[in-house]
Amino acid sequence: MSTEIEARARLFDAIEGGSPFWTREIIERGAAPVVERLTSGGYDPVKFERIITRMRTISAEQILESIGATDSHFIYPTTDEWPDSLLDLVCPPIALIVRGDISLLKSSQLAIVGTRNPTHYGVRVAQDFAAGFVDRSWTITSGGAYGIDAAAHKGALIAEGFTIAVLAAGIDINYPAGHARLFAEILESGAIVTEVMPGVSAIPSRFLTRNRLIAALSNATLVVEAAFRSGSLRTARDAAELLRPVMAIPGPINSPTSEGCHRLIGERAAEIVTSVGDAVEFLSI
């Protein structure tokens, strides 16, 4: 029977994050028994052919070696560093790979999310809120993307605070490539987190599964600017499902980049906030 770290490594490598079926199997049976069943014919060999083949062709030692080569931590639900906030998810991660200050995962966090194509107004607001919460010893968590994400990370760094980037690609891949320098700056005092193996590229579905991690790690979520249909709204809804506070910044009524925020506010899915003071009062901090 595999040890817990070996079993988690093999499952993490072979199974895409956010799977309801595999989450249920691992929670009900345990990681090592699931590995045992996968490698001994306990699951449908046709339906799960890709996973079974992967499990039989790569060892736990190889997986952990490739993670170690990136100067990262490999954590999972029974390790001391695991943030319990992730266990509130319907589909918590099998494990996470973390570079940087791993203790930040348990700090008070504000998720700041929004469009990749913000206005100057949106960039300024994201930076101001990041700085305001950093001043109150909160960590700023976002997705490392262009636009509002980048503004939030930079706002935290400029204010000499801490920030976490949750990526949809491998820990060793600078995605987007234009953020190589930003990620290096984040790692100087903050952390980078991912739910996929080193070398794995970002695909559209991984951004959606990644968004649930941002929502779950954070005590509250702020949507700065978002189009009517936006991944940021998914993060907000993930946060709401976890009963975490959601806030949204209003914008001009004719601005496409604020339609998503107005939608959240109109549906009473988010609290309208117009200043850091508003947000602080709403969160009672």
Span 52-108, pLDDT tens digits: 999 999 999 999 999 999 999 999 999 999 999 999 999 999 999 999 999 999 999
- Residue 90 in domain: no
- Which pLDDT band holds residue 201 (cuts at 50, 70, 90)? very high
- Residue 93 in domain: no
| Boundary-marking domain end, from 48, 69, 90 | 69
- Residue 208 in domain: yes
Q: Which residues contact 285 (CB under 8 A, 6 or more apart)?
A: 108, 136, 138
Query: How many independent structural domains does the chain possess?
Result: 2
Classify the C-alpha dihedral 11-106-133-90 as positive or negative. Answer: positive
| Boundary-marking domain end, from 15, 50, 69 | 69
- Which residue matches tokens 């999310």? 113
- Residue 272 in domain: yes
Task: Indicate if 138 and 260 belong to the same structural domain.
Answer: yes
- Residue 84 in domain: no
DSSP letter (8 states) at residue 179: G
Residue 1 has pLDDT above 80, yes or no: no
- Which residue matches tokens 């189009």? 227
- Residue 278 in domain: yes
Q: Which residues contact 199 (CB under 8 A, 6 or more apart)?
A: 66, 170, 172, 173
Phi, psi of 233 (to 5 degrees): -70, -30
| Boundary-marking domain end, from 44, 69, 94 | 69
Crossing angle of helices 204-217/231-241, nearest 10°? 40
Task: Indicate if 213 and 262 belong to the same structural domain.
Answer: yes
Q: Which residues contact 237 (CB under 8 A, 6 or more apart)?
A: 269
Residue 242 has pLDDT above 90, yes or no: yes
Is residue 178 within 8 Å of 151, Cβ to Cβ?
no
Type of residue numbered 227: A
Task: Indicate if 64 and 172 belong to the same structural domain.
Answer: no
> Any idea what the CATH number is for the domain that residue 273 is in?
3.40.50.450
| CA 220 remoteness from chain centre | 13
Residue 285 has pLDDT above 90, yes or no: no
Task: Indicate if 158 and 265 belong to the same structural domain.
Answer: yes
Residue 2 has pLDDT above 90, yes or no: no
- Residue 87 in domain: no
What tens digit of pLDDT does each residue of 144-190 get?
Answer: 999 999 999 999 999 999 999 999 999 999 999 999 999 999 999 99
Distance linking the first and last C-alpha atoms of the chain: 47
Mean pLDDT throughout 210-214? 97
**Host domain of residue 275:** 102-283
What tens digit of pLDDT does each residue of 5-58 get?
Answer: 999 999 999 999 999 999 999 999 999 999 999 999 999 999 999 999 999 999
Residue 247 has pLDDT above 70, yes or no: yes
What tens digit of pLDDT does each residue of 101-128 get?
Answer: 999 999 999 999 999 999 999 999 999 9
Task: Indicate if 115 and 250 belong to the same structural domain.
Answer: yes
Strand-strand pairing, 191-194 and 96-100: antiparallel
Task: Indicate if 142 and 204 belong to the same structural domain.
Answer: yes
- Residue 76 in domain: no
Beta bridge partners of 38: none
Type of residue numbered 92: P
